[in-house]
Amino acid sequence: MTMSISVGEIFTYIIQIKLILLFSFISCALIAYVHFLWRKRKLIIKSWNMPGPLNLPFVGGAYLFMIRPEYIYNRLTRMQQDYPDIGKIWFGSKLVYFMTKPEYIEKVLGSTKLVAKSDFYQTIIQYIGEGLLAAPVPKWKKHRKIIVPTFNQKILESFVEVFAEKSLILNEILDENVGKELNILRVLSRCTLDILCDTAMGLKYDIQRENANYEYKMDKVMQLVFLKLLQIWNHIPFVWRLLGYEKKIQGYLKTLSDLIDKVIQEKLEIVMQKKNSTYIEEETKKRMVFLDYIIESNEFTSIELRDEVFIFLFAGTDTTASALSFVFAVLGMFTDVQDKVLEEVLSIIGPDKTPGFEHLHQLHYTERVIKETLRLFPVGAFFLRYVSQDTDFGDFVIPKSSHVYFGLVYIHRNPKYWPNPLKFDPDRFLPEEVAKRHPCTYIPFSYGPRNCIGRYYAMMNMKVIIATVIRKFRIHCQYKKIEDIKLKTNITLRFRDGAKVSVTRRDMSNN
């Protein structure tokens, strides 16, 4: 006797199995979500009344960033506009506050207790290493104490000669490209990397003339790090690899790692020569630089040494070059500003003299131009802090285990603190004007105990490059006003559509 099953019964069984599987999936998802709510109940309760965008189960507000990468930073800035002073968003399982009120910013950044970097920086650590930028607090305190002396005035003064020497090479490269629209960020990145290898590592290379494309690969690494940081599906290792991003980033990192290894190996050989007394006396009298200090301190493991060199080359190269690319664009847009900078440079330094340390502190207008550029285009576009303890702001409490996001473009362009914010006005940074503002309305180098230790280095470097270039070239830019410049970020701020900068030779006989 055989049992026959009709097609209708088979179809019914299939439907039942699908329903069971669907019910099981929904039940598991519901249990997981209830578990999440229970685990995060304190954060949920304490942040309940804080305004913010709609948060969906599991992903929170991460769905807002399911857009093309170049538009992500605009979405973040819009979020700050929609929730002025302070707001919140859940990014997956992480509670993130975003604040723009300067008093709130000072409370977090000025605190000696809230100096831990957010674990969002784990993505940076994964690929670039645990350098000073992202190190946990105990390591950061120990390493910063050793590294800070490498930026004292005497050492900075000795760098000016290198800044000037490398700026002249930059001029040669610009001269070869007169009248052409330049990829100015790439040209400037090669210059700043060349400078950094000499000043911070104590090694002379010819990076501006090499064709290794270090700057291009740095840019690509940061693009991919930014994608992994803010697009939540990229946190899943399988998805990240399936999209081909892991293979790409490792390819870019290989070239950069080879440079780091070369720098460290050459420096270690020099240190050994010194110890063996085979190093010529003139060399031993040379200035101590960043890499000398951290090697001779004997406080860094080989991995820590590598991490610090890696992050210094990344941060020191890219931030200064990005800032200069915006300065060049601004000078090209506003010819009256460019003429005033040139006039000041000629009056302080002269038409042919090499810039010296004694000149730099006298370039007041040039410094104001740089500061106003960094107000409108803060190259360190954002940063985050981890809240290690409940922090009372009077009207509300930010709970322990949450994170705080600072988006600098909106903070620096907030019309509440910056009248006519899109107007380029260097005189906003006259001493009497600065005194009227809260210090946390302008934080291009962060603020408080974990601010940028290289800020004076960067300012001096930029002044020398500007003074060297502007005396030989007139800078042009196709943008006509600040509103025309569309922005994106890949950790640091970028032109979405390029800088559109070109140069022509000056006839100095008319000056």
Query: How far is residue 228 from each of residues 55, 122, 235, measured CA to CA in Å?
Result: 20, 10, 6
Residue 491 half-sphere exposure toward CB, CA atoms < 13 A: 21
SS (H, E, C) 370-425: HHHHHHHCCCECEEEEECCCCEECCCCEECCCCEEEEEHHHHHHCCCCCCCCCCCC
- From the centroid of its chain, how far is CA 230? 15
SS3 415: coil
SS3 293: helix
Whats the size of the chain, residue-wise?
511
Q: Is 197 annotated as a binding residue?
A: no
Q: How far apart are CA 125 and CA 134, in angstroms?
A: 7
Q: How far apart are CA 115 and CA 141, in angstroms?
A: 10
Q: What is the CA radius of gyration of the chain?
A: 26
- Residues 491 and 73 sit within 8 Å (Cβ to Cβ): no
Q: How far apart are CA 462 and CA 469, in angstroms?
A: 11
Nearest to 92 by CA among 275, 229, 193, 260: 229
DSSP 8-state code for residue 416: T
Cβ contacts of residue 192 below 8 Å, gap of 6+? 316, 317, 318, 320, 321, 324, 461
Helix ranges restricted to H, 200-301: 214-230, 237-242, 245-275, 281-284, 290-296
SS3 501: strand
Q: How far apart are CA 328 and CA 373, in angstroms?
A: 10
Nearest to 101 by CA among 434, 410, 339: 410
Q: How many CB atoms lie within 10 A of CB 176?
A: 8
Q: How far apart are CA 146 and CA 308, in angstroms?
A: 12
Q: Which amino acid is at 238?
A: F
- Residues 91 and 123 sit within 8 Å (Cβ to Cβ): no
3-state helix, strand, coil in the chain (%, to 5): 60, 10, 30
- Residues 78 and 56 sit within 8 Å (Cβ to Cβ): no
Nearest to 387 by CA among 146, 51, 88: 88
Helix axes 364-376, 455-470, angle to 10 degrees: 110
Residues making up the binding site for heme = 452
Binding residue ranges: 452
